[in-house]
Amino acid sequence: MASDERRVQILHVAMKLFAEHGFRGTTTKESAVAAGVSEAMVFRHFANKDELYHAIIDHKACNHAEMKTPLEKLTELAAAKDDYALFYGLALNALNHHRDDPNFMRLLLYAALEGHELAQMFFENFVVEIYSFLGAYIEERQREGVFRQMEPKIIVRSFIGMVMHHSLNNTLWDKEQNLLQVTNEDAARQFAEILLNGVLTKNQ
Amino acid sequence: MASDERRVQILHVAMKLFAEHGFRGTTTKESAVAAGVSEAMVFRHFANKDELYHAIIDHKACNHAEMKTPLEKLTELAAAKDDYALFYGLALNALNHHRDDPNFMRLLLYAALEGHELAQMFFENFVVEIYSFLGAYIEERQREGVFRQMEPKIIVRSFIGMVMHHSLNNTLWDKEQNLLQVTNEDAARQFAEILLNGVLTKNQ
DNA sequence: GTCTATAAATAGATAGAC
DNA sequence: GTCTATCTATTTATAGAC
């Protein structure tokens, strides 16, 4: 197999294992075996275990850049003041992304717990940005008297909380437990409805 | 130091380390040093590392039993049909608990990711129970026409999501990031307000 | 009850042949 | 590009002295 090809293959295999068992819980030997090569091959393509982890981070950081594209569409919805479409779209986009790439959430959780950079990077590049974007929109809608007066950031946290916690449950538990089976469309719709009814002024 | 006393001391020290670095990320040597004893002492009180982890689980399972006591008070609020007091009390109780014992949430997250029993135990004993309790209450309020008609479990998930995600942020990120500083009382109040406004029928 | 010393197993990483 | 063999450090766990 060509060098680049092999490198990417090991990267993907290792990413899966790191997502399942964490950085400390995955051995280079396991990664090698899962990729169908010897351990020496891992160290030929990556100087050490840390570099392998960083390569995974970079790879995921790229994926994350792709995630931002739909955010631009959300900006249009915000400009059009379409509250429901904005919150629904935000939720559905996140839920679908988490379902299609469950490894990302697990990697991120491990990174946050283990104090790796991926968590910090995600926070600075994505969480801060979405709080800023949604917070500004909410403030605007409050000035217009459409949303009730309350700390904008707590509204953001409430909504992100619904969505993220739902994905977290799907990723960590619900697979087996079957506590709440619902399509992403239904979940996004109901989260958006609850939040908007919760923050709209009574006379809307 | 007396045997029992020493055992508990090592247990507490290890629990802190396991919460910080996870099961695989904590060595018996580290636990011993942190407890101010030799590694041999750890294995005198606990047959092996697994047993040490299980002892921590049991200890936390007891703490969790204490958590249930306030739940009984919530049952009274439910009987009185005091929606706001019920949701506010539920949120404040959880937020305070998470703040006072951040190790619990970290242990639980590690356990869920690493697939240990603590996660399963917590889910079956606590999550299922609260979904059942709140779900039943919501159904009742829907029959009375006070809450809007929608899947009760999605309402539960929305509210638990707000609360848990807020605690998760406080535990994993906000300490340094300062994204949203708010007292638990304020957070609980606003979460309850958003949810109730979100699910109450318009003519309330 | 506590320690030092040490065994046994595993993990990360390298050397050198093919 | 790939492997086997090997080295070193770490980790879990035990033995035996005090």
pLDDT digits (tens, 9 = 90+) for A12-31: 999 999 999 999 999 999 99
For range A177-190, the mean pLDDT:
92
pLDDT at B178: 78
Q: A117 falls in which pLDDT band (50, 70, 90)?
A: confident
pLDDT at B200: 79
Q: B67 falls in which pLDDT band (50, 70, 90)?
A: confident
- pLDDT over threshold 90, residue B120: no
C1’ D11 / CA A2, Å:
37
Q: Of A3-7, A179-183, A196-200, B78-82, which gets the smallest average pLDDT? A: A196-200
Q: How many Cβ contacts (< 8 angstroms) between chains A and B?
A: 142
Strand D lies under 7 A from the Cβ of residue B27: yes
Q: A84 falls in which pLDDT band (50, 70, 90)?
A: very high
pLDDT at B89: 96
* Torsion angle defined by CA atoms of residues B80, B82, B87 and B91, in that order, rounded to the nearest 10 degrees: -70
Query: Under CATH, which architecture does the A64-199 domain have?
Result: Orthogonal Bundle (1.10)
pLDDT at B202: 62
Chain centroid, CA A18 distance in Å: 16
| C1' of nucleotide D10: residue with nearest CA | B27
- A64-199 shares the fold of A3-60: no
For range B130-151, the mean pLDDT:
94
Q: Of B109-113, B170-174, B193-197, which gets the smallest average pLDDT? A: B170-174
Query: Under CATH, which architecture does the B3-60 domain have?
Result: Orthogonal Bundle (1.10)
In whole angstroms, what is the distance from residue A115 CA to residue A105 CA? 15
Cα-based distances in Å from B196 to A44, A86, A104, A196, B147:
58, 21, 33, 11, 8
Looking at chain A, which residue has its C-alpha nearest residue B184? Answer: A154
Instruction: List the domain boundaries for chain A.
Output: 3-60, 64-199
Query: What whole-number percentage of chain B has pLDDT above 90?
Result: 76
For range B150-178, the mean pLDDT:
92
Closest CA to A30 of A12, A46, A14: A14
Residue numbers of B between 53 and 82 with CB closer than 8 Å to A: none
**What would the pLDDT profile of B85-99 be if each residue is shown by its tens digit?**
999 999 999 999 999
Q: B64 falls in which pLDDT band (50, 70, 90)?
A: confident
- pLDDT over threshold 80, residue B17: yes
In whole angstroms, what is the distance from residue B68 CA to residue B70 CA? 6
Residues of A within 8 A of B165 (CB-CB) are: 157, 160-162, 164-165
For range A42-58, the mean pLDDT:
96
- pLDDT over threshold 80, residue B58: yes
pLDDT at A62: 77
Instruction: Compute how many other C-beta atoms are within 10 angstroms of the C-beta atom of residue B25.
Output: 18
| Residues B123 and B116: beta-carbon distance below 8 Å | no
Q: B40: distance to nearest CA of chain A, Å?
A: 24
Per DSSP, helices labelled H in chain B are 3-21, 28-35, 39-45, 49-79, 83-100, 102-114, 117-122, 128-143, 152-169, 175-177, 184-199
**What would the pLDDT profile of A124-174 be if each residue is shown by its tens digit?**
888 999 999 999 999 999 999 999 999 999 999 999 999 999 999 999 987
Chain D bases near protein Cβ (<7 Å): 1-5, 10-16
Q: A202 falls in which pLDDT band (50, 70, 90)?
A: low
Please state whether B151 falls in left (phi above 0), alpha (psi between -120 and 50) or beta.
beta
Query: What whole-number percentage of chain A has pLDDT above 90?
Result: 76
In whole angstroms, what is the distance from residue B25 CA to residue B12 CA? 17
For range A184-189, the mean pLDDT:
98
- pLDDT over threshold 60, residue A44: yes
- pLDDT over threshold 70, residue A203: no
Q: A108 falls in which pLDDT band (50, 70, 90)?
A: very high
Secondary structure of residue B60 in the 3-state scheme: helix
C1’ C7 / CA B40, Å:
14
Residue numbers of A between 81 and 120 with CB closer than 8 Å to B: 106, 109-110, 112-114, 119
Residues of A within 8 A of B112 (CB-CB) are: 172-173
